[in-house]
Structure 1
Amino acid sequence: MELVTIDDIRAAADRIRGAIVRTPLLASPWADEDRPLWLKPESLQPIGAFKLRGAQNALARLDEASRRRGVVAYSSGNHAQAVAYAARSFGVPAHIVMPDVTPQIKIDNTRAYGAEVVLVPIAEREAAAYELVEKLGAVLVPPFDHPDVIAGQGTIGLEIAEDLPDVELVLVPVSGGGLSSGVASAVKALCPSAAVVGVEPELAGDARESLRAGELVDWPIELRARTIADGLRSQLSELTFAHLRTRLDGIVTVSEDEIRSAMGVLATRSRLVTEPSGAVGLAAYLHRAGDLPRGRTVIVVSGGNVDRALLADVLGA
């Protein structure tokens, strides 16, 4: 199985330049002195999450004939918005299958970008997407299981290496593994002494279990759906597992209360509105310090598309 290379990621960066925001590294003066901290706020992307990078790269790689057929995606929310936004920029029709438990803000945003949204039970989203592909003759743009998507997400790691070449630790959320595969691929190629550690919720800790077992371990969707981090409920694919087992230095898990607490810290200390999935890296930094290397740390804040009621609850409003 061929893995994404740094050349693939550099090509993706050239391809999506101008269509995405090159997010800054934000220093966190409130962090521990022996663990200087920077935040990579992908919540500042036009769709509020990192997913635009992979979707934009994947659609840019399609030929005109494929684009005319339209695209289909399945997603809990952020990939849905990314594909809808990228498809609109290319003038491509998009059908997006979303779980019926997706936060309403993500459904509304996806529709606002012009996509046709199909709501189904969470366990049926992939099957429904493949049915649409067959019915419409469209092209599937998967949320993580594709080298073009991984390369697009890897541009985050490329930017981290360019902006902080002496980085010592990168914390990145893990779900289906596209983000963590891409970031780890770039950082390990350009900053080989840096550690890249994945973070996932305890209630969706299948990736950590898979890496420990040396093979993919299945967690039923009913278990993974328990976590508040709705963007981290997917499982690794064979492709992303192959990347992570060779390029990730480990995975730590965090509790639901720790995720909520980290959302509050990001809002009050760094003035960043984040969804639960985007806060897991800081949750690990704050509550799993003993399990992590010390030193200059970058946390990928993956998204900010949070339900307003949830945010109000977290902040105690």
Structure 2
Amino acid sequence: MRDAKGEILIVDDNKVNRLLMARSVEILGHRASVAENGQIAMSMLVDGTFDILLLDIEMPEMDGFEVLEALKSNAALRDLPVIVTSSVEGLGNIVRCIELGAEDYIPKPVNKILLKARLESCLEKKRLHDEQKRLLKRFATDEVARDLQESGFAIGGHRVSATVLFCDIRDFTAMSEHMAPEATIELLNTYYALMFEAVTSNGGMVNLIVGDGLMALFGAPEPIENSAQSAVNAAAEMCAMIEMLNEERAMLNDPALEVGFGIATGEVVTGYAGTDARATYTCIGKTVNLASRLEAHTKVAQESILMDSATQRRLPVEIRSKEIPAIHFKGFSEDQTIFALEPVTSID
């Protein structure tokens, strides 16, 4: 938290109560803002950033219960700590506030020592929660982070139609043998930065990194209009970025990078696999296996981007591809019809 201080929003229809509460909050070293009813408070919460909400119950326009319900249904605000400060008596009202998500309940007139303790406790909980969210965004994609926040965590999966992309640097192991460890990591970080940009800018998510290879998913956990086109666009952008990177490497007399992409579209099973203690968002199925086989086959076919027929059928006519000889992949009962994306520098 900023210097252990908090941004506190005080919501009370009584002007004297607002002034007294604001004064108490500021004496405790925090910054206070005020709202005279729930509607004004909700507008302020949407437009501003607050650490704690001090909320009265009995108010015109929008009472405290309605504010709590509105916060609970808003993914961006549901984690905001709320301390109810009210003269409304009765265990039922207190229970209702807690059930609607309130962190605590302080009866009026508010005891200043109790208020201090409650604010410090809520600020510490919010600091820890914000740190968890920061780490989640660092170690999970934005899509997975949103899915966890909106749907919660549960081991299991469901079937969806999506497009899977595999990418790999050709002969990277042999190349890295002649590089210093620091140079190897620096190159991989540059490569990953370019790949992530191409994938995310086209609506996909990178959900697996293994060495110099990565797997990207388009159409899950969030659906997109044409997952096949998005994946192919991403692969084409990746190729263009690698070409630019190779121009810089040539000036340093470094060997050029060659990458291969395999893209397949179809049904996959997505979800969180692992245990309650340690899990990851992943997808499995024949579509995943086919995309992996296609990426490996780029070395044999001497093509940068290979796709299955299901992906090729979903592409607009301006994205040109050519059919290459079918092949029988291990684990598949039938020969696979394969298409190669014709060389392009960019796709609009």
**Fold similarity call, TM over 0.5:** no
Structure number with greater Rg is 2
Q: More helix by proportion, 1 or 2?
A: 1
For normalisation by structure 2, the TM-score amounts to 0.21
Structure with greater strand percent:
2
**TM-score normalised to the size of structure 1?**
0.22
